[in-house]
Amino acid sequence: MGLVFVRCEAVVQRRGLPGRRAVSADLFRRGGRFILQPRLNSSVLGGDSWLSIVVKRGKTSRWCSDADIAIRSTTSKGKRMAEQFYTVASDSETTGEDKSQLSFPDVAIGIDIGTSKCSVAIWNGHQVELLKNTRNQKGMRSYVMFKDDTLSAGVTGGAAQESAHEERDILSGSAIFNMKRLIGRMDTDEVVQASKTLPFLVQTLGIGVRPFIAALVNNMWRSTTPEEVLAIFLLELKALVEMHLKHPVRNAVLTIPVAFSRFQQTRIERAFAMAGLHVLRLMPEPTAVALLYAQQQQQLMHDNMGSGIEKIALIFNMGAGYSDAAVAATAGGVSQIRALSGCTVGGEDILQNIMRHVLPNFDSLYDGHTVDRIKSMGLLRIATQDAIHKLANQESVDINIDLGNGQKVSKVLDHSEFEQVNRAIFEKCEKIIIQCLVDAKLEPEDINDVILVGGCSKIPRIRSLVLGLCKKEVSYKNIDALEAAVSGAAMEGAIASGVTDPSGSLDLLTIQATPMNLGIRADGNNFAAIIPRNTTVPARRDMLFTTTHDNQTEALIAVYEGEGEQAEDNHLLGYFKIAGIPPAPKGSVEISVCMDIDASNVLRVFAGVVKPQGPAIPPFIEVRMPTLDDGHGWCGQALAKMYGKTIDLAVLPKKLQP
């Protein structure tokens, strides 16, 4: 394809700054569009916006004003892009169709899939807008209803026409929910074990394979997978967004819990791919909140230069399935994540604890999934949920419910009892907050604001616990507890898609950190962390290893993620072998293992022999992790059984390193 190539002069403005300057650029013509590329020596940066372009050719010069220039940087195309280009619509040659495409650049939408509720937000050109479904809800229940041959998700309220019946229908066994807790988990996982009391069928064999999940359709259990359920839900969500935007949507920024393993992340990405969406960024939920906080602080201070007063916020997010904590330092629209921590406790656990408390023979009662039992279990769930919600605003609550089959529950629940029953959960929350503060090397006095988000942040005990740990009287008020994460995701979507905002409200950046240690198995069954947790992303670290046997020609690199000291306590992400190591006494070969995480959170592992050198050394190996697909509980054991310690590695002590 021939490109018309013209040198031109463009007027550029730095975001948020007065003053303009002219830079030279090349104007290409590709198809029906003009592409403006700054010349090498003109320092045009990502944050610059083009104001006008003067094209001089011979004696004539043509001037395009900002109204004619619909510029977008092609950053949204992702990492394949080598250099930054700007697409310019010419004033005369663009057809109407092209214009409509250009006026709707491919901006990633923000999606927050909660364990219980889900929301979606878009950047509408001026601000973040949360979309509502036909029932005027911003937070839509996350579930998929299986009915005869039709599937319907919670986006449109497929379960029932009236929302009053919705909850009861969801709990009839025909709907699958809590996908976020089940996705990417093996049946030995305690979260999966706890999910067996849900109205739909979760069957476990306890051998480290994926659980069997099924919905009740016409009195028959029909099997499905969490990925499939999520994809069906996302399809409906995507349709909702496309109906609103009137153009197709391809990219999305998704918020995920901090405790999500990389394996779970690939599962959720697969669900998105099934729904035809590309995940541009996966954002830990509290970091999305931190971005929103950074924007509010920036607008408060009118500060765009990354300087100014630094504010440190502790964000605690507790939803139905997960709890996360983060410490973020914010200045001038840059939010720097100092520490992250998370665990898998949430409102669902509180609910189950209370259900067990009011009905002591709960487990024996709901051992099998008969229609009667499902029905009474649903009634108990609804009553308990109501009670917990009421308890947020009142001292005590009555639970009176007829479960059928002569079962009746009548109980008065007050705060102290509620706290007693859920003590373990509160302790876990406390633990992650303390860990977060320790990792960030901060004292409670250093925290400027405490931000509480998520459904469970309304529980008085949680509020007092977090505020007490941070020695604060009140929490930060300008953030909506349920909408913050999705708003942050939509903002990140716009930033990562290359949208700039003339008023400077998108002049933001999140500097992410890794939530978990990443490393390999070495020194027997130990875990050698190569990228420790809370390392700033993008990150790249390497470490030297050596052989454990004389004349060892092969070495196994087993990559793990997690907090455990022992490799087995962590999630196995994948493994590969370095073969062709030249024969040498043990400890004399040097093997370098390098890990690289890019801004879209892709992990690559590079490994190879670095000493001795020579033409006989095999080339390095690059592996994108995780490589494991299923049954990762088994792989570690299978490897140990097959090879034992014959191809192990040991950490090369620092003093031997040059």
Partner 1 sequence: MLRFFGTSAASDHCHLQRRNGSVHHELIRPNHYRPRNVIRCCSTARGRNKDYYQVLGVTVHSTHQEIKEAYRKLQKQHHPDIAGYKGHDYTLLLNEAYKVLTRNLSRHDDGKSRAGLGSGYPRDGYSSWNGPLAVESCPVNCIHWVDSQELPVLEFLSRPQPKEGHGIFGGGWEQPRNVFAAAKNFAKRLQREEQELEREQSSRSHGDADCEAETEAQAGARRRAGEVKEHLRPSIDFGD
CA separation for the pair 437, 453 (Å, rounded): 18
Q: How far is the CB of 594 from partner 1 (least distance, A)?
A: 5
Q: How far is the CB of 4 from partner 1 (least distance, A)?
A: 24
Indicate whether 606 belongs to the interface with partner 1 (CB under 8 A).
Answer: yes
Q: Name the β-bridge partners of 546.
A: 650
Indicate whether 655 belongs to the interface with partner 1 (CB under 8 A).
Answer: no
Question: Residue 234 or residue 518: which is nearer to partner 1 going by CB?
Answer: 518
Query: Of 619, 641, 644, 654, which lies in the binding site for partner 1, with binding defined by CB under 8 A?
Result: 619
Question: Residue 394 or residue 657: which is nearer to partner 1 going by CB?
Answer: 657
Q: Token pair for residue 361?
A: 């023979």
Percentages of the chain per state (helix, strand, coil), in multiples of 5: 30, 35, 40
Question: Residue 18 or residue 96: which is nearer to partner 1 going by CB?
Answer: 18
Indicate whether 611 belongs to the interface with partner 1 (CB under 8 A).
Answer: yes
Q: Token pair for residue 159?
A: 């379960």
Site for partner 1 in 54-93 (CB under 8 A): 73-75, 78-84
Q: How far is the CB of 262 from partner 1 (least distance, A)?
A: 19
Q: Token pair for residue 49?
A: 């916006």
Question: Residue 409 or residue 617: which is nearer to partner 1 going by CB?
Answer: 617
Q: Name the β-bridge partners of 201.
A: 214
Q: Name the β-bridge partners of 556.
A: 577
Indicate whether 502 belongs to the interface with partner 1 (CB under 8 A).
Answer: no
Query: Of 8, 183, 315, 331, which lies in the binding site for partner 1, with binding defined by CB under 8 A?
Result: 331
CA separation for the pair 146, 221 (Å, rounded): 10
Long-range contacts of 26-32 (CB under 8 A, 24+ apart): 27/53, 27/55, 27/88, 28/3, 28/4, 29/3, 29/4, 29/5, 30/1, 30/3, 31/1, 32/93, 32/94, 32/95, 32/98
Q: Dihedral, CA atoms, 480, 346, 574, 254, nearest 10 degrees?
A: -20
Site for partner 1 in 514-543 (CB under 8 A): 536, 538-540, 542
* Angle in degrees, 0-180, between the axes of helices 423-439 and 460-469, rounded to the nearest 10: 30
Indicate whether 37 belongs to the interface with partner 1 (CB under 8 A).
Answer: no
| Number of residues located near partner 1, criterion CB under 8 A | 57
Indicate whether 42 belongs to the interface with partner 1 (CB under 8 A).
Answer: no
Indicate whether 633 belongs to the interface with partner 1 (CB under 8 A).
Answer: no
Indicate whether 145 belongs to the interface with partner 1 (CB under 8 A).
Answer: no
Indicate whether 580 belongs to the interface with partner 1 (CB under 8 A).
Answer: no
From 100-108, 114-122, 454-462, 611-619, give the range in contact with partner 1 by CB under 8 A. Answer: 611-619
From 173-181, 190-198, 606-614, 634-642, give the range in contact with partner 1 by CB under 8 A. Answer: 606-614
CA separation for the pair 35, 172 (Å, rounded): 56
Q: How far is the CB of 630 from partner 1 (least distance, A)?
A: 28
Indicate whether 627 belongs to the interface with partner 1 (CB under 8 A).
Answer: no
512: which DSSP letter? -
Question: Residue 150 or residue 657: which is nearer to partner 1 going by CB?
Answer: 657
Q: How far is the CB of 589 from partner 1 (least distance, A)?
A: 13
Q: Which of 255, 419, 436 is nearest to 343 (CA)?
A: 436
521, 625 contact by CB (below 8 A):
no
**Strand, coil or helix: 35:** strand
| Contact residues: partner 1, CB under 8 A | 17-19, 45-47, 73-75, 78-84, 305-307, 310, 331-334, 336, 492, 495-496, 498, 507, 509-511, 536, 538-540, 542, 544, 590, 592, 594, 596, 598-600, 604, 606, 608, 610-611, 613, 619-620, 622, 657-658
